[in-house]
Amino acid sequence: MKRAHLRDELKSTFQSLGGDDAKRIAEAVHHAYTEDAVLEHPLMVCKGLENIIKADRTWTSIFHDESSIEEVLVDGNGAVVKMRHHIRPRLLPMVQIPMCIVSELELRETTHGCFRIARQVDHVAMSETVAEWPVVGYLLNSYLRPAAFYGWATLGRVIDSGNHVASNLSKQAVEQRARRSSALLQGIAAPYIDWAKHHIGLAQNDMAHQEENPTPAEQASMRQERREQAVH
């Protein structure tokens, strides 16, 4: 697919993929996708050309798909294709399922300057799909969405409460660890503190004993000092 005609070629490719002709589908896939292309659909994920072809063939064998392209946008190496489908199961042709699918495309430039689809991610456009079902749309907007909001809000409150409880438990755990660490340090240091106090007490007792009971040398020194003081 050339850059200048990329929009038209994408439109042609998706028109071919939406048909029932298996040969045309295979040719469109080989022409537009890379060898390692990935297709992510709400119902499946497949990789590689052959697997994408098998997935398309399986889809067309189960459903008759009347599709129309509403919009194709190309921006750099990306593109968006919006398609409206009216799907009929082949075993129940009287049942019609309207659906709007938006495909996000990741394009890769080849060595020949052409572009191919490297990844396709399909999304169901819920608001537009529901619009095709008036009764479902009424129930969704009147009951299901408000209920979902209240459920979501309740879930948020539960999560906030859980976070608050977890935060308090975490603080308590930190305080308990700090108390245990302090007690452990005190237990380790207590013998050394007692040893130091004991030896300081012994040293003080020795000093007091020496002051009360001087040695002969100290007594001689004291007498000499008194004589010198008497002379002066």
The rounded average pLDDT for each run of 10 residues, N- to C-terminus, in the chain (232 residues) is: 77 82 86 92 87 85 85 89 86 83 90 87 74 55 61 71 76 79 75 76 70 66 71 63
Delineate the domains of the chain, giving CATH numbers in brackets. 6-132 (3.10.450.50)
The answer to whether 98 touches 129, Cβ cutoff 8 Å, is yes
CA-wise closest residue to 118 among 28, 14, 34, 31? 34
- Identify the residue whose tokens are 């004291």: 222
Q: What helix, strand, coil percent values describe the chain, rounded to 5? A: 60, 25, 15
SS3 66: strand
Position 105 scores a pLDDT of 94
For residue 55, give the nearest of 93, 22, 99, 91 by alpha carbon: 22
10-33 burial, b for 16+ CB within 10 Å, e for fewer?
A: bebbbebbbeeeeeebbebbeebb
pTM of the model: 0.54
Q: What is the pLDDT of residue 191?
A: 77
Cα separation, 28 vs 18, whole angstroms:
11
Measured at the alpha carbon of residue 190, what is the angle toward residues 185 and 192, in degrees to the nearest 5? Answer: 110
- Reported as a single tens digit per residue, the pLDDT across 64-87 is 888 888 889 988 889 999 988 888
User: Cα–Cα distance between 29 and 148 in angstroms, integer?
Assistant: 40
Burial string for 180-203 (b: 16+ CB within 10 Å, else e) reads eeeeeeeeeeeeeeeeeeeeeeee
Closest by Cα among 121, 78, 123 to 100: 123
The per-residue pLDDT for 117 is 92
Distances (CA, A) of 60 to 24, 53, 123, 124: 12, 11, 19, 18
C-alpha to C-alpha distance for 159 and 154, rounded to whole angstroms: 9
pLDDT of the residue at 210: 63
